[in-house]
Chain A
Amino acid sequence: MTDKFAPVDKILKEHDCNPAQLIPILQQVQDLYRYLPEDVMRHIADKLEIPPARVFGVATFFAHFAITPKGKHIIRVCNGTACHVKGSSFVINTVKDKLKLKDGQDTTADGLFTLECVSCLGACGLAPVMVIDDVVHGQITPAQAVKLIDEIAAAEAKNA
């Protein structure tokens, strides 16, 4: 039972179980699980000696944190002013269709992809911008976006 949270405990120890470090702790834990599972948040609350409702409050306040599992690959499409003017909406809609995401859904049924529309990636010169798993793709077109997704899906199929 204690083993289950061993990697979380390691992170907590790095931060001396300091409740003021809650956000960095949650960031690291999310990297581990790709989201913040309920039992993990409860465990963190227990170790930091703060109420689980507070951990949940912080986790739901910041868009960066997810309380439902994110996909293995994170696709971020910028919809900031510059990207929007340069047609990022077309990219977003195409990706949504490609991944068969319904309204309000951001992760594919197979758990491979999560699509996030973000407000600015700070790379306006490259608009419209798409980032897949922290790799930046500038001046992206809907067709290129589909191609990139196909490549990842193919690689995943091969590995599986």
Chain B
Amino acid sequence: MENKEQGFVTIEGKRVPIQGEKNLLELIRKAGFNIVTFCYHPELAVYGACRLCLVEIEGMGILASCTVTPKDGMKVRVNSDEIRKLRRINLELLLSSGNHDCTLCSKSNNCKLQKLAKDMDVTEIRFKSKKLDSHKDATSAALVRDHSKCILCGNCVRICNEVQGIGAIDFAFRGFKSKIATAFNKELGESHECVSCGQCARVCPTGALMPNSSEIEEVFKAINDPKKKVAVHIAPAVRVGLGEIFGLPAGEPIDGKIATALRMLGFDYVYDTAFAADLTIVEEATEFLERFKKGTNLPQLTSCCPAWVNYVEKFAPEFIPNLSTARSPMQMMGPILKADFEDKGGKREDLVVVAVMPCSAKKTEAKRGEFYVDGNPDTDYVVTTVGLARMIKEAGIDFVNLENEWFDMPFGTKTGAGVIFGASGGVMEAALRYAVAELDPENARSVKFSSLRESKVFKEKTVVIGDTKIRCAVVSGLKNARKLLDDIKAGKNDYDFIEVMSCQGGCVAGAGQPQFEGWALRKTRAEGLYKEDTELAYKSQDNSGVQALYGRILDKVGGPVAHKLLHTHYKSKKYQD
């Protein structure tokens, strides 16, 4: 609603009301001038470094609009000759330093620097290029850094500090030697602080920081190897993210098209990670109910987010006993598929399991030593949502016009509880659906979970069944999680069960998803999952495939076989002097 007291700013002759915009740039964008910037990000603090939002304000001169508070009566020019000239010079200066060879860059078509150069039709750079650090750091399984494409906007540094509360990277050195570096300029793979969440890559406007896509080549090789069978499974968030890359409406679940495309790519078995999510719920909620009855190791902390697990091991190992020992859906799917393959007479190493994930940290999770059996990993390769799009494009598949097919059985069955895993609050809701049904079978659907579905980084829900109260919290973003842990230590709260996702908004906002800014798209993607949920069975224990699996291979919920295949352990990785 318009607040008359805030007044108006005149932008290129147009009167624009101030409605609580924090800075002039936001007001300019509201007025319809979509100025492309690099260092301004709506989720981060204002930095004012890229100098592309320069404007001329009458009586004030030329200023970076992101750093100016809009005031009544301001007269602003955004396209004066002077501003056009300066913006072009600033862009040319950015282009002159570093390697901006677009045709050879994975970020091409999705790069702000490229977009702006095209919009402004920059065809020559008047400044002499200075050869910069051409070192490419691919030591991390999760992320690749290419310093030669970095424009030092600092978005990565700010999100790592402000949102994740880690500070694994920062500006280092000076002048032409300035770079974004880890502590002591180590390779990212050797950084003690990095938890591989990849949010830095999500906010990088160029190709300087991207999820590691080296595994795609291996996946194609496995598909083309006649000796191997290749199984693929897609995480919940993938179905509400992938379509955006092909111009399909955001948040529309496209399971059917994805299943078709995966078969066309040559995968032998096409499954749904949501199956394993149901399995995770069965094990994790059972584990919770046991702990809850005994009152031990509470609050139970979820463990399906690999960056969060990395965080606990590195920065808060005192909470390891609280982590659920249930594996993440991805790491349940791998051993189940391989056990089933062996059960049917195959050899473990002849089945290659590929996981399509919205995440960069999942790549590091698959490589954890605990998840190998005699040198063979439970999950062979992890491809991101964007990586899958690349595979589909490379294979020339006309994705938009594909017919819907369905996942293979039995590991393609799922319930809505498994699908909502992709949104912050979804894992908790799924676990509570299970727990409520166990504790009070007659009123299994009586509890509503609307508070857990809000677009918030911190959510609470207390479930009351008779005189039993289960106090739950959902938190996303690691800095918020840190605060919650500190409060637990200080005795400021007494939750029984806490869901943590490293990325604000959950997996729908993971680093492997198509790049985006702001909360609106997070919400749209999550709504897609909740929509799919309404078309499926309500709770994980109703997944017929999961039930059959217990009968055939796993035996008892929480029993010895289930423990071997579906649970894991953690150890402190805190830095030691």
Contact = CB atoms under 8 A, between A and B. Distances in A.
Contacts of A51: 161, 166-168, 170, 183, 193
Interface in B171-189: 171-174, 181-185
B181 A52 contact: no
Contacts of B168: 51, 53
A56 B172 contact: yes
27 contacts: A1-B577, A4-B577, A39-B577, A41-B183, A42-B183, A50-B167, A51-B161, A51-B166, A51-B168, A51-B183, A52-B183, A52-B192, A53-B167, A53-B169, A53-B172, A53-B182, A54-B170, A56-B172, A56-B183, A56-B184, A56-B185, A57-B170, A60-B172, A60-B174, A60-B181, A61-B174, A67-B184
B193 A52 contact: yes
A96 interface: no
A14 to B, nearest CB: 21
A1 B166 CA distance: 25
Given A51-B161, A51-B170, A61-B173, A56 B181 contact: yes
A73 interface: no
A52 B172 contact: no
Interface residues of A, number: 22
A42 B575 contact: yes
A51 B183 CA distance: 8
A60 B166 CA distance: 20
A41 B185 CA distance: 13
A57 B577 contact: no
A43 interface: yes
Contacts of A67: 184
A31 interface: no
Interface in B283-340: none
B577 A52 contact: no
A97 interface: no
Contacts of B182: 53
A53 B174 contact: no
A57 B193 contact: no
B170 A43 contact: no
Contacts of B181: 53, 56-57, 60
Contact of A53 (B173, B193, B575, B577): B193
Interface in A140-155: none
B49 to A, nearest CB: 15
Given A51-B161, A53-B193, A41 B170 contact: no
A82 B174 CA distance: 25
Nearest to B167: A51
Contacts of B173: 60-61
A43 B193 contact: no
Contacts of B193: 51-53
Given A42-B183, A53-B181, A60-B174, 5 more contacts: A38-B184, A41-B183, A45-B183, A60-B181, A60-B185
A56 B170 contact: yes
Interface of A: 1, 4-5, 38-39, 41-43, 45, 50-57, 60-63, 67
Nearest to B179: A60
Contact of B577 (A43, A50, A54, A62): A43
Contacts of A41: 183-184
Given A39-B577, A42-B575, A52 B184 contact: yes
A43 B182 CA distance: 16
A61 B172 contact: yes
A54 B169 CA distance: 8
Contacts of A38: 184
Instruction: Name the residue among B166, B173, B181, B184 with the largest chain A CB count within 10 angstroms.
Output: B184
Nearest to B178: A61
A5 B577 CA distance: 10
Interface string B139-167: 00000000000000000000001000011
A106 B184 CA distance: 20
Instruction: Name the residue among B166, B170, B171, B182 with the largest chain A CB count within 10 angstroms.
Output: B170
B53 to A, nearest CB: 25
Nearest to A51: B167
Interface string B50-89: 0000000000000000000000000000000000000000
A33 to B, nearest CB: 15
B482 to A, nearest CB: 12
Interface in B186-210: 192-193
Contacts of A56: 170, 172, 181, 183-185
Interface in B533-577: 575, 577
Contacts of A1: 577
Given A50-B167, A52-B184, A57 B575 contact: no
A53 to B, nearest CB: 4
A57 B172 CA distance: 4
Contacts of B184: 38, 41, 52, 56, 67
Contacts of A53: 167-170, 172, 181-183, 193
A81 to B, nearest CB: 20
A51 B478 CA distance: 15
A42 to B, nearest CB: 7
Contacts of B185: 56, 60
A46 B181 CA distance: 18
A67 B193 CA distance: 20
Nearest to A63: B174
A62 B177 CA distance: 12
Nearest to B575: A42
B512 to A, nearest CB: 24
B22 to A, nearest CB: 26
A63 B174 CA distance: 9
Contacts of A43: 577
Nearest to B171: A57
Q: Lowest 10 A-B CB distances belong to which pairs? A: A51-B167, A52-B183, A53-B170, A57-B170, A53-B183, A60-B172, A57-B172, A60-B173, A54-B170, A56-B183
A45 B184 CA distance: 12
A51 B171 CA distance: 12
B209 to A, nearest CB: 15
A130 B166 CA distance: 44
Contacts of B167: 50-51, 53-54
Contacts of A39: 577
Instruction: Name the residue among B172, B173, B174, B185 with the largest chain A CB count within 10 angstroms.
Output: B172
Nearest to A50: B167
A11 to B, nearest CB: 17
A133 to B, nearest CB: 26
